Structure 1
Amino acid sequence: MQTAVSPGEFRRYAAPGVLGMIGISCYILADTFFVAKGTGSLGLAALNIAIPAYNLMNGLGLMVGVGGATHYSLCRAQGDAAEADRTFTHTLLLGLCIALVFVLTGTFGVVPLSRLLGANAETLDMTAVYLRLLLCFAPFFVTNNIMIAFVRNDGEPGRAMAGMIAGSLFNIVFDWVFIFPCGLGMFGAALATGASPLVSLLVLSGHLRRPSRGFHLRRERLRPRLLPRICAPGLSSLVSELASGITLLLINLVLLRIAGNTAVAAYGVIANLALVESAIFTGLSTGVQPLISRSAEADRRRLLRWTVTTALVISALMYVLVFVFASPITAVFNSEHDPALAACAVPGLRIYFAGFLAACINIIAAAYFSAAGQAARGFIISLVRSIIAIPPVLFALSALLGVTGVWLTFPAVETLACVLSLLFILRSPK
């Protein structure tokens, strides 16, 4: 018989999820800070151009990790230990196959990829250096995402959080070491970021020594029928990351056309801070995913209410902080004290971050439906807020309002998607 989920249990899963994802998001935020200090606005622009590739890599890692761990939880709840082990084995194999594609791209195709992402003559070399090293570390990024999800779903959310935070702290310290004392510039930033998942995996490996752990590697032939079951629950996580990546890519290209590299550097400040806030809501939703997957419908509705309420409170507080402190926040990343960058970034922060009042609901709703066995609804929400709505809204608003229209794109798209999320929530089974 299932027992009702208590507020204490909700906090035990939600808090580590949030703190852990903040840790992961700080990989790129630390790079942003130290790259801005070490290489100036051009380095900041190059980093911002490279981030969509990281979004895709991280999104695919989350898809197989969250999806596989969700299916694993269902197998364990049904008492099918063999299928649970089979799910873990196939998830790991699928993740390594995906990582191999990124390694090959980083080895042989990084310059065309950099140009595709928007690098021009001024930023191409720095973008390519960063991407080449980052993509070659893809096996560690993807494996880390898988292990975090399985360890969390196997009853150790605290260890999952500890792994993510340990990796982030390593990245912050060695970003400084490699960029300044060692003088490695963009290469040093990428090296610190790429090595960080190794530290996280060392922490997570402690779970493998527990006799009570629920997942094990099995030697068996590949079963293609398992792959859709593994991927489907994680599709909304993938599309959420793609939303960030596509938004970054398109906005970078539009800003380059209408305002140049300085505007892209300003967007680098906005986008990387936005990455942290997105990570908070992603961490909140993935943190409570094990509870949603194994709960009865009444408990699922209660968990949804608690999660959305928590997200709205966090979003409102974050917006007040960003609105009040937009100027000093920009100054932290504006090492050259460029007045043009400040004039672009400060109003951009205040407009862009208003979108999180709706985005937090969209992120929570997409993850909730995926965890509750309604993956199609979660996928549709994520699809609307990324691939479907962004291009027409961005091109229309930028044509009408210039750079201000670019900053308004994110709030406008998230508001449209929020209407759909609320309709799905109201019409979901009671």
Structure 2
Amino acid sequence: MDTKFASDAYRYFLIWGICASLAITICTIVDAALVGNLVGAEGLAVANISTPVFLLYALFGITIGVGANVQIGRLLGASDIHTANRVFHSQLGVGLIIGALCLCPIFFKDAYFSFLGVTKELYPLAEQYLTVVMWSAPIFVMYHILSISVRTDSDPKLAAVASAVVILTNLSLDLFFMKVLGIGIIGASASLCIAETLGVLVLLVHFIKKDRLLKLRLACPSISDVWKFVYNGFGMGAANIFGAVVMLVFNTLLLRYGGESGAFYVAIYGVIYTVSTIPAGIFEGASGALSTVTSFFVGESDVDGIFIVLRKALIVAVFSGGVLATLCAVFSNLILKFFGIRDIGAVENASMAMRLFALSMVFMGINMIITAFWQSIERAKLAGAMSVLRNCFLLLAIGTILIPRENIVGLSASYVCTEIFCTLGIVIVYIFRSSKKYVSEKYGMTGKCIECSYRIEKESMTQISEDLERICEEWKIGIKQAFVINFICEELLLNIIKYGLSNRSASNKEHYISIKLLEKDGDYILRIRDNVSLYNPFESDGDEIDAGVLKLIQKKTKYCDYQRKMIFNNLYLII
């Protein structure tokens, strides 16, 4: 029972996190497939060359979003709502400033396109596609920031809904603009930008909900805030900018050494990259869920919960990576044909590259999970080093050796070798610099602390009373304080049974309550958590006796606050 809360929280955030990530992934695949089939190989090459632009926007949005929300989650876990909101408001300010700065390349398009590797033949299509995208830069940046923040504020379901809106809108408008109206590649970029805008509007709905803890306001960020956001989020966000750099270099190498087939190899690289977004989307969802839940547990100094979540995330990564790698290897020919590549000779070479790339997927998941974990427990230097090596330096070093020799097959081998080497690096860190010791020393409870879990039923009352009496005797808690602690726990449990479970469905879901007691500076802090659907006893329509008891609880404590965090109700009291 003690592991139930951590497991349930991670499972909930995982499901909706993967849904959100895969929605964006499917959006990318739909764009690539439609462009490849309706515009041709040149259109697919333009979409691939444009990928670094989207990765740049993701760099800014994810770096700021993850960096800020590592702090926000920790503060919410520690019940410091005021400071959490201050960080959130500063984050929004940074996001808007960066989004505005991302508009600058519009005014020197030729130099920007040249930097991206756009050739004379591809320039007309690239100009159509990228001009619309560049004007929408602030939307892309803010979407990432808001999505991460909404997830941290215990609403991953809405983040997934926003992603679903993006994909459905994008798919519908893609077909309408390119298939019905026949306006070509500009229709693909316009549909994506419109869809992203609607996604932002959906995310903003969260801030009118009654149970949200974060409030939508803007604040001018300080230099210190910006530095903390970048420092805490670099390990996750930097993968995007490094991905952009790698794509630029690898595209250039393929065009230079591929001869007449150079543009075709770039198109194949685009297919491989697009396919890789499926496992990456799953791993990103698993990593995001890990980061969010771990940040809360760090704020609560719940060391056991932190490592329960890590184990769950690694299991998800290894299993899903293995399944996807197998599917990718077995159906490589069909995947290539799906993207419009049907020439028999070309498919054979490209299929070999894709099967080789599939080997990297399992290791990719492990590396992404551990990077997110290091980031969430403030081992930012390790996370940053992993990101720099895995997504840039090591990959570029291997790629510059293999691509000139083996072209597209060498490119796939570069990814496989990089992921394997980074996983070996994680094993070395585990042996010599274990995170278990680091977390225990930095976040573990220093004073007296105990936590017990119980089923929410009247039969649990006796066990709760016996456990609390034993704890009070062992800790030598005064009679008055011991009575208040016992009284609060019993009355709250009765109130939840009477009103919180009155409308539960017939799903036979197991409901349970966790009572955590700790000593700090001469006071006793009591945290009572339950997994009942949204229910606040201090706002319920109980009878006069129940209302009187709850008012008495508020009067008998120095501090009393009832919050909905993650997927649980939490009562914090200082006695």
TM-score class, shorter-chain normalisation, is: over 0.9
CA contact (8 A) 1:258 1:402 kept: yes
Aligned-partner Cα distance in 1 for 2:421–2:187: 40
Q: How do 1:318-329 and structure 2 match up within 5 A?
A: 318-329=324-335
Q: Hey, which of these two has a bigger chunk of helix by percent?
A: 1
Q: Call closer, same or farther: CA 1:10–1:77 in 2, change over 3 Å.
A: closer
1:348 aligns with 2:353: yes
Q: Deviations over 1:214-236 (max 9, x none)?
A: 11244655422222222222111
Aligned-partner Cα distance in 2 for 1:344–1:128: 31
Q: What is the CA-CA distance between 1:4 and the residue it aligns to? A: 6.1
Pick 1 or 2: higher relative contact order, CA cutoff 8 A, min separation 6.
Answer: 1
Q: Call closer, same or farther: CA 1:210–1:285 in 2, change over 3 Å.
A: same
Larger radius of gyration: 2
Q: Deviations over 1:360-414 (max 9, x none)?
A: 1111111111011211111111111122212210111124434321221110111
The alignment's C-alpha RMSD in Å is: 1.8
Q: Call closer, same or farther: CA 1:247–1:341 in 2, change over 3 Å.
A: farther
Q: What is the CA-CA distance between 1:422 and the residue it aligns to? A: 2.6
CA contact (8 A) 2:93 2:219 kept: no
Indicate the larger mover: 377-386 or 71-80: 71-80
Q: Deviations over 1:170-228 (max 9, x none)?
A: 11121111111111211110011111122212322221111221112446554222222
Identity of aligned residues (%): 23
Q: Which amino acid aligns with 1:9?
A: A
SS in 1 for 2:102: helix
Q: What is the CA-CA distance between 1:322 and the residue it aligns to? A: 0.8
Q: How do 1:274-423 and structure 2 match up within 5 A?
A: 274-295=276-297, 296-334=302-340, 337-423=342-428
CA contact (8 A) 2:91 2:221 kept: no
In the other structure, the counterpart of 1:77 is: 77
SS in 2 for 1:109: helix
In the other structure, the counterpart of 1:262 is: 264
CA contact (8 A) 1:36 1:333 kept: yes
In the other structure, the counterpart of 1:48 is: 48
Q: Deviations over 1:112-165 (max 9, x none)?
A: 222212221221221232222112111111111111111111111111111112
Instruction: Mark the runs of 5 or more structure 1 residues left unpaired by the alignment.
Output: none
SS in 1 for 2:290: helix
CA contact (8 A) 1:207 1:213 kept: yes
Q: What is the CA-CA distance between 1:18 and the residue it aligns to? A: 0.9
Aligned-partner Cα distance in 1 for 2:125–2:219: 44
Q: Which amino acid aligns with 2:248?
A: L
Q: Which amino acid aligns with 2:288?
A: T
SS in 1 for 2:39: helix
Indicate the larger mover: 52-61 or 393-402: 393-402
In the other structure, the counterpart of 1:86 is: 86
Q: Call closer, same or farther: CA 1:236–1:338 in 2, change over 3 Å.
A: same
In the other structure, the counterpart of 1:196 is: 195
1:119 aligns with 2:118: yes
TM-score by length of 1: 0.94
Instruction: Mark the runs of 5 or more structure 2 residues left unpaired by the alignment.
Output: 437-575
Q: Call closer, same or farther: CA 1:376–1:4 in 2, change over 3 Å.
A: farther
CA contact (8 A) 1:87 1:230 kept: no
Q: Call closer, same or farther: CA 1:402–1:150 in 2, change over 3 Å.
A: closer
Indicate the larger mover: 38-47 or 117-126: 117-126
Q: Call closer, same or farther: CA 1:168–1:50 in 2, change over 3 Å.
A: same
CA contact (8 A) 1:70 1:371 kept: yes
Q: What is the CA-CA distance between 1:340 and the residue it aligns to? A: 4.8
Q: Call closer, same or farther: CA 1:230–1:397 in 2, change over 3 Å.
A: same
Aligned-partner Cα distance in 1 for 2:156–2:271: 31
Q: Call closer, same or farther: CA 1:291–1:202 in 2, change over 3 Å.
A: same
Q: Deviations over 1:67-88 (max 9, x none)?
A: 2122112222333333222211
- The number of aligned residues is 427
CA contact (8 A) 1:263 1:341 kept: no
Q: Which amino acid aligns with 1:323?
A: A
In the other structure, the counterpart of 2:453 is: none
Q: Call closer, same or farther: CA 1:51–1:18 in 2, change over 3 Å.
A: same
Aligned-partner Cα distance in 2 for 1:40–1:298: 53
Q: What is the CA-CA distance between 1:3 and the residue it aligns to? A: 7.7
Question: Which residue, 270, 273, 282 being the options, matches 1:271?
Answer: 273
Q: Deviations over 1:82-120 (max 9, x none)?
A: 322221111111111111122221x21233222212221
Q: Which amino acid aligns with 1:328?
A: L
Question: Which residue, 431, 434, 439 being the options, matches 1:428?
Answer: 434
